[in-house]
């Protein structure tokens, strides 16, 4: 399947998803998952199991760990346990993906606005972003519970654009999940898939028809 690419253009603002786009949070999420699994006498899982689920929330992680036993578990209780464990060690192993810091520095130097729109709840987003110095200049940080709707709704992205004083069609939204591309398109923004993140197969990503499919954050230099 051929990659769908729009002509290269420059933007007034970049907006980023967080987990799987700016930050590699999988190992901290995986550590919390494995602690919950151990407590339930379930075998721990390796990164090849938890990484694909890392962008999809606590329930998806637990389902990846418990497998077919997940349906019979006290799901609400275990989701809370996982989130509690994760919150205790939210940035122990988390780092920016390679290429993220140079891109953010370049955006700052060129005075191009940038921000974060994640479905992660605010009580986790805020301490995580605060723990990563490279993210200190984000002009907006909107979480999954900031508004009444989260991605794939376009409302949080439109809210970001309004706060930054930028027209949506002059924004580029970058993410590693289909809901990111859906939300960006619905908001009237251009979109880029973060192929370095927790993406499914390349063919599936290409079926989302993002305007751009970036192999690395460094691809963002083509738009600034």
Same domain, 170 and 71: no
The pLDDT score that the predictor gives to residue 9 is 74
Same domain, 32 and 20: no
176 is catalytic: no
pLDDT at 4 over 70: no
Residue 5 lies in a domain: no
Same domain, 31 and 62: yes
Q: How far apart are CA 156 and CA 144, in angstroms?
A: 8
Same domain, 66 and 104: no
Same domain, 20 and 47: no
Same domain, 82 and 122: no
Q: What percent of the chain has pLDDT over 90?
A: 93
Total domains present in the chain: 2
Average pLDDT (147-171) is: 97
The pLDDT score that the predictor gives to residue 5 is 53
The pLDDT score that the predictor gives to residue 10 is 86
b/e burial code for range 7-38 (CB count within 10 A of at least 16 → b): eeeebebbbbbbbbbbbbbbbbbbbbbbbbbe
Same domain, 126 and 170: yes
- The CATH number linked to 208 is 3.40.50.1000
Residue 63 lies in a domain: yes
| Mean of the per-residue pLDDT values of the chain | 95
Same domain, 38 and 114: no
Range of 80's domain?
26-88
Specify the pTM: 0.93
Tens digits of residue pLDDT in 177-212: 999 999 999 999 999 999 999 998 899 999 999 999
The catalytically annotated residue of 17, 24, 180, 219 is 17
pLDDT at 3 over 80: no
Per-position DSSP letters for 98-123, written without gaps between them: TTHHHHHHHHHHTT-EEEEE-SS-HH
pLDDT at 7 over 80: no
Same domain, 194 and 213: yes
């Amino acid at each position: 399947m051929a990659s769908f690419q729009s002509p290269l253009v420059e933007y007034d603002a970049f907006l980023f998803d967080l987990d799987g786009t700016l930050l590699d949070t999988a190992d901290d999420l995986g550590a919390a998952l494995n602690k919950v699994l151990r407590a339930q006498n379930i075998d721990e899982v390796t990164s090849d199991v938890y990484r694909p689920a890392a962008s999809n929330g606590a329930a998806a992680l637990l389902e990846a760990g418990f497998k077919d036993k997940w349906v019979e578990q006290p799901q609400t209780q275990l989701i809370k346990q996982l989130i509690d464990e994760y919150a205790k060690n939210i940035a122990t192993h988390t780092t920016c993906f390679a290429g993220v810091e140079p891109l953010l520095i370049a955006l700052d130097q060129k005075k191009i606005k940038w921000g974060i729109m994640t479905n992660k709840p605010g009580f986790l987003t805020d301490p995580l972003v605060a723990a990563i110095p490279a993210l200190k200049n984000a002009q907006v940080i909107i979480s999954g519970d900031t508004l009444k709707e989260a991605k794939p709704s376009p409302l949080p992205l439109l809210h970001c654009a309004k706060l930054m004083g930028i027209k949506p069609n002059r924004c580029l939204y970058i993410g590693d999940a289909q809901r990111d591309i859906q939300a960006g398109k619905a908001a009237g923004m251009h979109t880029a898939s973060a192929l370095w993140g927790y993406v499914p197969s390349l063919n599936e990503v290409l079926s989302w028809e993002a305007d751009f499919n970036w192999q690395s954050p460094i691809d963002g230099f083509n738009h600034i």
